């Protein structure tokens, strides 16, 4: 008997969504003549309604035009929130929203995936998906964060440039193909090939070649001593050579097949992905037999679906939506600090075309213009940690002795703009693919000092902005977040964004290349820390970035689902169960 993957939309969802949407429209940037002019309802008539897609009108809040010490956090939910709470309590009392599908979890992704071939994308959604369909040689202990054996049962270092791995026997791909050392060699060397055009290629260029010793022994030969071998292998997804060669890249991009705890069933592009438990899995078979991933770009809709039982888990809950979810008997919040850094990148090279940000004084002006502490306190409500360097405290290479060289000083920002020849201010493009509330606040700060930022939003399709970034088409300012592929090392962010060979790079310098190359080619941990310290100070001095905050993963979860958020930002439904 086949599995029915259809579901019905609870009748309350359109009601809640309509309330959220109408209220969002009242305080959205478009209500203030549109964000194409750099305006925001944050600053319209001295009011701001920063409840994101659950935005509410509050009484006057002096943010950010007036003094930060006058700012007070919101104390009470407004009438719209109160109405939503009433509806939630009305529909939720004593009702089990998931009782009709205890064998299934429905998870919402905030944006579509451009490929199911995990090596052909850098989206976080793709990494989460891959953890369910594919396995890796090495996994991460979620208590110690240290790598530990997975499909590799053991390993040893032969010499500074050779690592040998003994592989688990008896593992099969979903189609019955055996997992062998050849699977490892094929999967990694495929990514390295320039003609593959993988956006993850720079993660693997340290590999010189991979040697198959026997069916269950493989050796990685690196070009130089490489300190991140085990870290990288936690993200090394393993493919069947026969399947890929027989089907071709285009086919596997839509029909992935691995050795993981779930098997791929179907993909309706832009709508949903369906997986089913791999009952022949070599490890623990998932308690959740069916996993449906729905694509729901609109934040209000995701929250409404969660409250009404249409989905069981949503990611990236806006901080001001937390009270709404917590007030529901059907859902709860699971949150923790993660590796992901939010930051602004300026095009110091002029890669996307001539820009004022090729001038160091303009870049420094932007760094003085924004009060990140106020943003974390007022917008994020404490669900974030202000960060002043391009790595977070969770990265190896973070140096707590490096101080913030650019304290909030709007007057200094104006002076630097004038010094650069822009006393009347500048008009610039400002690209975003998330964090709408934070970015609207930043636009307000920039406007105050004369940087008129015109938002170009890709929130509903972040993969498009990712492609633009790699193609060198993000002009002036890009607002990004980076989870470092869940690699707890500075190399996983600094190399990808500052080495001249990386597709994300908009600020290059031969000295940065030298430090980055040296840091990833020595096993001396202290030397690596020293090199990253030099690099970080250089980046701060040149003001290439404006680091904003270390993010929290804030997930909304069905109250009957046994699941907690992890610091590596990977959602693992195969470890979840229903109460």
Beta carbons of 455 and 447 less than 8 angstroms apart: no
- 5-19, 193-207, 225-239, 430-444: the lowest-pLDDT one: 5-19
Q: Are strands 207-214 and 217-222 parallel, antiparallel or unpaired?
A: antiparallel
Q: Which of 207, 230, 250 is the last residue of a domain?
A: 250
pLDDT number for residue 14: 53
Assigned domain for 36 exists: yes
Nearest Cα residue to 339 out of 569, 60, 56: 569
Which range marks the domain in which residue 79 is found?
12-88
The answer on 381 and 300 residing in a single domain is: no
Assigned domain for 53 exists: yes
The answer on 222 and 174 residing in a single domain is: yes
What's the CATH code of the domain at 548?
3.10.105.10
Nearest Cα residue to 503 out of 461, 527, 467: 467
Q: What is the pLDDT of residues 365-381, one digit of tens each?
A: 999 999 999 999 999 98
- 78-92, 277-291, 557-571: the lowest-pLDDT one: 78-92
pLDDT average, residue stretch 454-473: 93
Residue 76 reports pLDDT greater than 70 = no
Q: Which of 191, 221, 250 is the last residue of a domain?
A: 250
pLDDT number for residue 144: 85
| CA separation for the pair 282, 178 (Å, rounded) | 12
pLDDT number for residue 319: 83
Residue 55 reports pLDDT greater than 50 = no
The answer on 351 and 276 residing in a single domain is: no
Q: What is the pLDDT of residues 479-503, one digit of tens each?
A: 999 999 889 999 999 999 999 999 9
Higher pLDDT, 90 or 380: 380
Q: Are strands 162-167 and 207-214 parallel, antiparallel or unpaired?
A: unpaired
Nearest Cα residue to 185 out of 203, 200, 158, 204: 204
| CA separation for the pair 96, 75 (Å, rounded) | 31
CA 361 to chain centre: 30
Assigned domain for 2 exists: no
pLDDT number for residue 315: 95
pLDDT number for residue 304: 96
Structure tokens at 153: 């049962």
pLDDT average, residue stretch 438-461: 96
State how far the alpha carbon of 280 is from the alpha carbons of 118, 174, 264, 273, 286, in Å.
23, 8, 14, 21, 11
The answer on 360 and 331 residing in a single domain is: no
pLDDT average, residue stretch 570-575: 96
The answer on 77 and 151 residing in a single domain is: no
Assigned domain for 284 exists: yes
33 three-state secondary structure: coil
Higher pLDDT, 137 or 25: 137
Residue 118 reports pLDDT greater than 60 = yes
Q: How many structural domains does the chain have? A: 4
Highest mean pLDDT among 54-58, 201-205, 236-240: 236-240
Structure tokens at 396: 């190896």
Q: What is the pLDDT of residues 252-283, one digit of tens each?
A: 999 999 999 999 999 999 999 999 999 999 99
Assigned domain for 123 exists: no
Segments of 303-418 assigned E as strands: 313-314, 331-346, 384-386
Assigned domain for 377 exists: yes
Beta carbons of 175 and 195 less than 8 angstroms apart: no
The answer on 455 and 410 residing in a single domain is: yes
72: confidence class by pLDDT, cuts 50, 70, 90: very low
Nearest Cα residue to 491 out of 141, 235, 231: 231
Assigned domain for 449 exists: yes
The answer on 408 and 513 residing in a single domain is: yes
pLDDT number for residue 491: 96
193: Cα within 13 Å, side-chain hemisphere: 9
Give the number of residues written for the chain.
579
Assigned domain for 237 exists: yes
The answer on 499 and 356 residing in a single domain is: yes
């Amino acid at each position: 008997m086949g599995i029915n993957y259809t579901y019905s939309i609870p009748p309350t969802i359109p009601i809640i969504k309509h309330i959220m949407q109408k209220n969002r429209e009242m305080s959205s940037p478009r209500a203030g003549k549109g964000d194409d002019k750099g305006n925001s309802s944050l600053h319209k008539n001295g009011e701001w309604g920063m409840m994101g897609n659950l935005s509410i009108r509050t009484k006057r809040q002096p943010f950010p035009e007036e003094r930060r010490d006058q700012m007070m956090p919101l104390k009470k939910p407004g009438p719209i929130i109160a109405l939503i709470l009433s509806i939630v309590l009305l529909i939720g009392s004593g009702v089990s929203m998931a009782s009709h599908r205890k064998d299934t979890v429905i998870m919402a992704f905030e944006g579509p995936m451009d490929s199911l071939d995990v090596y052909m994308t850098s989206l976080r959604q793709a990494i989460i998906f891959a953890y369910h369909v594919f396995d890796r040689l090495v996994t991460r202990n979620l208590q110690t964060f240290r790598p530990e054996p997975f499909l590799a049962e053991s390993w040893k270092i032969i010499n500074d440039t050779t690592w040998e791995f003994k592989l688990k026997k008896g593992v099969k791909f979903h189609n019955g193909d055996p997992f062998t050392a050849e699977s490892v060699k094929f999967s990694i060397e495929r990514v390295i090939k320039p003609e593959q055009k993988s956006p993850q290629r720079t993660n693997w260029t340290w590999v010189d070649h991979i040697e198959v010793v026997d069916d269950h022994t493989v050796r990685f030969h690196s070009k130089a001593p490489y300190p991140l071998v085990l870290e990288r292998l936690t993200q090394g997804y393993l493919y069947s050579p026969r399947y890929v060669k027989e089907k071709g890249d285009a086919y596997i991009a839509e029909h992935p097949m691995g050795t993981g705890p779930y098997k791929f069933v179907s993909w309706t592009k832009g709508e949903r992905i369906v997986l089913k438990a791999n009952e022949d899995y070599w490890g623990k078979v998932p308690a959740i037999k069916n996993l449906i991933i729905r694509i729901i770009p609109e934040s209000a809709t995701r929250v409404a679906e969660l409250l009404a039982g249409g989905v069981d888990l949503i990611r990236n809950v806006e901080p001001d939506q937390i009270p709404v979810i917590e007030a529901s008997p059907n859902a709860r919040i699971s949150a923790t600090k993660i590796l992901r850094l939010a930051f602004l990148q300026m095009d110091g090279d002029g890669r996307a075309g001539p820009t004022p940000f090729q001038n160091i004084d303009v870049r420094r002006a932007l760094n003085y213009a924004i009060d990140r502490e106020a943003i974390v306190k007022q917008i994020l409500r404490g669900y974030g940690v202000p960060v002043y360097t391009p790595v977070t405290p969770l990265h190896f290479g973070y140096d707590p002795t490096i101080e913030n060289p650019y304290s909030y000083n709007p007057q200094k920002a104006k002076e630097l703009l004038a010094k650069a020849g822009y006393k009347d201010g500048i008009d610039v493009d400002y690209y975003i693919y998330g964090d709408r509330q934070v970015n609207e606040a930043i636009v307000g700060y920039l406007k105050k000092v004369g940087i008129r930022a015109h938002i170009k939003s890709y929130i509903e399709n972040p993969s498009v902005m990712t492609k633009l970034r790699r193609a060198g088409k993000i002009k002036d300012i890009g607002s990004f977040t980076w989870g470092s592929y869940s690699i707890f090392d500075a190399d996983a962010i600094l190399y990808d964004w500052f080495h001249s060979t990386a597709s994300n790079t908009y600020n290059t310098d031969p000295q940065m290349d030298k430090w980055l190359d040296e840091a990833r080619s020595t096993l001396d941990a202290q030397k690596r820390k020293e090199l990253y310290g030099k690099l970080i100070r250089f980046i701060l001095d040149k003001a290439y970035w404006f680091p904003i905050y270390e993010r929290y993963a804030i997930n909304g979860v069905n109250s009957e689902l046994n699941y907690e958020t992890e610091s590596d930002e990977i959602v693992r439904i195969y470890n979840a169960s229903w109460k």
